[in-house]
Structure 1
Amino acid sequence: MSYTRIPCTFMRGGTSNALVFRRGDLPNDESRWPAIFLAAMGSPDPNKRQLDGMGGGISSLSKVCVVGPPSRPDADVDYSFYQIGVADEIVDASGNCGNMSSAMGPFAFDEGMTQGADREAAVRIHNTNTGKIIVSRFEVRDGTAAVSGGQAIDGVSGTAAPIRLEFLDPGGAGTGHLQPANGEAESVLDVPGIGRVTVSMVDAANPCVFLEPAAVGKTGTEHPEALEADEDFMTAMEGIRRAASVAMGIAATPEAAGGIPSIPKVAMVFAPTDYTLLSGRTMPADAFDIGVRMISIGNPHRAVPLTGGLCLGVAARLPGSLPARIARQREASLRIGHPSGLLEVDAEIEDRDGTPHAVHGAVIRTARRLFEGHVLIPN
């Protein structure tokens, strides 16, 4: 068997892993990319292990990023994200991955794709999936992006150098509107087989739909494995997600929404209460402001997708929204409790002629190169 060898870097960004390609190393014909990405990740795999590729068998470990020259003057680089299906042939470019966004600034800097910096870099990243600018700020040491440091993030062992991500003007990333459902902070969806469900649909960094756990017979504190094992629950959440997709204008029908699995993300949110983390430790109620259990690409997330966390941070600041009603309100950043620990999000909302506008959402992450070389694609 012969192979096509393509230069590639394998990176961790936040609580995700992905293959990162330079745009110039891929074929000019982008219609050839999906087959390359699927083969590289080992998809589709009915066993959901991706043993014949670089994927890790779950959505957060089945991702591809492409970085290239900027297509707009206010950016240093373009970054395109692709969510790769595990058991199917889906290559979904409808939304961004916030966790992998944290790796894009250091990657571009170390690859010489941006101008040098002595002590701190500020890379302006144009995410082509959403059309938004993300500013990545990180320390530079000896001419390269710093790796070691004291920043810890829940869901990743050890510590590393901090990376601050600022999502500028994040509203309307997928739909063009911060509150796509006629500007309403809360809405009622009529979901086949379930009935009427009160939700908040918000689009900031990525579109999300938020509901209370009681609407689907849960408390919100359940572990991801227990949620995934409950087929009725998973079916209900997918029905809600599809109904929200139609209401947000993402898909024309619930059936069409099934072909766009990455957005909107669907999540249960709950008021602070003690719960058990995946590590076995207790998360005390006074340590967080709002809890979340989010589903991403059909999998209950073991932490929280970063764009989902940013969207929740913005939603919790929107007057009248379900997250704002549930969350403990503080002047400081919002502390989001998830199955692995905490995510702190800084979000700013301002009133513009009576309409809420998301100024920015910011978060601290870490990232690291894991290896660099070539991926081998069978011919």
Structure 2
Amino acid sequence: MATADGVRCLYMRGGTSKGAYFLAGDLPADEAERDDLLLRIMGTPDPRQIDGLGGAHPLTSKVAVVRRSSGDETDVDYIFLQVGVDEAFVTDKQNCGNLLAAIGPFAVERGLIPAGEKTTTVRIRMVNTNSVATATFATPGGRVDYDGDLAIDGVPGRAAAISLDFEGTAGSSTGALFPTGRVTDEVGGITVTCVDNGMPTVLMRAADLGLTGQESPADLEVDSALGQRLAGIRMHAARLMGMGDVSTATVPKLVLLSAPNHGGTISTRSFLPVRVHTSIGVLGALTVGAGVIAEGSVGHELADLSAIGTRFSIEHPTGHFDVDVAVEPAGEEWLVTRSAAIRTARKIFDGTVFPRPRL
């Protein structure tokens, strides 16, 4: 728990992200006090986060807060908090499917959930979007086993598989899979698809922005003209999605699509919304999949959908991310019938973190 000497913390990698995991009871109940503490723990604001746990990138400046669920439908509640790097903000306006991968193991490590003798299943309420994910992972002898033979692109080495099955992700932040009521819209002079299968996202053809879609994250980030144009598209699309003014929010995300080049289904470059993801997030991948499968959407004609039913392989800057996603027409709407992914996680350290003194 929080003391004058520090705060109990478990630092973990979840999927292709990394963050600080806390029990809710170890943090202040008041959100303003909690957020101030987390900024000092992570070393924000500072582009290097030199005086805290943050890794100088949005993918490594994340926090998970976990508590036992009060009801019977789920086992634990998971609140995701994105902490700014060079800007002092803490926001709960989005979810994180990568940190989600380590929530089940964390719940066992902290004694919230008893471990099974072979495997353990944890039902997780994702508080940010009030949706549910079920995590299943290996616990031989009643202990979490992080070792295994599954490799995921964007993470060196191999680790134990963690199965994630999602419920209620479609429209979880905006109210509908296609929140504008249309599969495509015209925004900023180009055709876009606004979609939300757990992560509000604006899909665009890279070619419509004069790009190949194979550019590196670094090259995309230094293109100031592109950044300004994307910022305008994001603001306009967010209003169409019913999200209002998102100038201080991290959603919706922006994803550039191009034809696959390495045997996948579709190629992506994902904006966070300013920095470019070195891979793609779990819920971002499920959202891209749902959006591209729908006929008439941006990316549908670019995608190789020949393997749909067995896998949806999303190409990203450091490899592939395979998800299991299925979408079916239901009258004038679209219904998501399956959203699942396989990730890995690892416990990095367990101990006490000492926050920076107040500036």
- TM-score in terms of structure 1 length: 0.90
Amino acid in structure 2 at the alignment position of 1:187: D
1:18 and 1:100 in contact (8 A); partners too: yes
CA shift digits 1:113-133 (9 cap, x unpaired): 123312111110000001100
Aligned residues of 2:147 and 2:158 also touching (Cα < 8 A) = yes
Partner of 2:284: 308
**Residue in 2 aligned with 1:180?**
179
Counterparts of residues 260-339 of structure 1 (less than 5 Å): 260=249, 262-273=250-261, 284=262, 287-329=263-305, 330-331=307-308, 332-339=310-317
Distance 1:72 1:250 in 2: 29
Q: Is the Cα contact below 8 Å between 1:116 and 1:143 reproduced in 2?
A: yes
Partner amino acid, structure 1, of 2:37: I
Matched residue, 2:333: 355
| Counterpart Cα distance in 1 of 2:243 and 2:124 | 24
Report if aligned partners of 2:115, 2:139 keep a CA contact under 8 Å in 1: no
Which residue number corresponds to residue 258 of structure 1? 247
Per-residue deviation, 1:156: 0.5
Matched to 1:42, the amino acid is G
Mapped contact 1:199–1:210 kept (Cα < 8 A) = yes
Q: CA deviation at 1:91?
A: 0.8
Instruction: Measure the CA separation in 1 of the matches of 2:165 and 2:293.
Output: 17
Q: Deviations over 1:299-344 (max 9, x none)?
A: 0111112211111111122222112222111232111110000000
Quote the residue 1:53 is aligned against.
52
Distance 1:235 1:301 in 2: 18
User: Is residue 169 from structure 1 mapped to residue 168 from structure 2 by the alignment?
Assistant: yes
Question: What secondary structure, in the 3-state scheme, does the structure 2 residue paired with 1:153 have?
Answer: coil
In structure 2, the gaps of 5 or more residues are none
Measured on the aligned residues, the alpha-carbon RMSD in Å equals 1.4
The letter for the 2-side match of 1:127 is M
Partner of 2:37: 36
Structure 1 match to 2:10: 9
Aligned position for 1:215: 208
Query: 1:245 aligned to 2:238?
Result: yes
**Counterpart amino acid of residue 27 in structure 1:** P
Do structure 1's residue 206 and structure 2's residue 199 form an aligned pair?
A: yes
2:222 paired residue among 224, 229, 237:
229
Q: Do residues 158 (structure 1) and 194 (structure 2) align?
A: no
What amino acid maps onto 1:75 in structure 2?
T
Match of 1:373 in 2: 351
**Which is further off, 291-300 or 344-353?**
344-353
Q: Matched residue of 1:258: which SS?
A: coil
Say whether residues 1:21 and 2:10 are aligned partners: no
TM-score by length of structure 2 reads 0.95
Task: Check whether the contact 1:3–1:376 (CA below 8 A) recurs between aligned residues.
Answer: no
Equivalent residue for 1:103?
102
CA distance in 1, matches of 2:127, 2:329: 27
Q: Quote the offset at 1:29 in angstroms.
A: 1.8
CA distance in 1, matches of 2:293, 2:8: 43
Q: Secondary structure at the match of 1:17?
A: strand
- Does the 8 A contact of 1:59 with 1:297 survive in 2? no
SS at match of 2:201: strand
Partner Cα separation in structure 1 for residue 251 and residue 112 of structure 2: 30
Q: Who is 1:132 aligned against? A: 131
Identity of aligned residues (%): 35
Report the AA paired with residue 298 of structure 1. Answer: V
Give the equivalent residue in structure 1 for 2:66: 67
Output the amino acid matched with 2:254: V
Displacement of 1:3 after TM fit?
5.2
Q: Secondary structure at the match of 2:196?
A: strand
* Pairwise CA distance, 1:73: 2.6
Q: How far apart, CA to CA, are the structure 2 residues paired with 1:313 and 1:121?
A: 28
Cα 1:109–1:315, aligned 2, differ >3 Å: closer, same or farther?
same
Q: Does 1:197 align with 2:173?
A: no
Distance 1:298 1:79 in 2: 25
Post-superposition shift, 1:354? 4.2
Tell me the amino acid that sits aligned with residue 185 of structure 1.
Answer: V
Aligned 8 A contact 1:270 1:292 in 2: yes
Helix, strand or coil at the partner of 1:136 = strand
Supply the distance in 2 between the matched residues of 1:138 and 1:159 (Cα, whole angstroms): 15
1:170 match: secondary structure: coil
CA-to-partner distance for each residue in 1:201-252, whole Å, 9 max, x for gaps? Answer: 000111100001122221100000111111111121222111111110111x
Q: What letter corresponds to residue 355 of structure 1 in structure 2?
A: E
Is the 1:303–1:340 contact (alpha carbons within 8 Å) kept by the matching residues of 2? yes
What is the distance in 2 between the residues matched to 1:147 and 1:258? 39
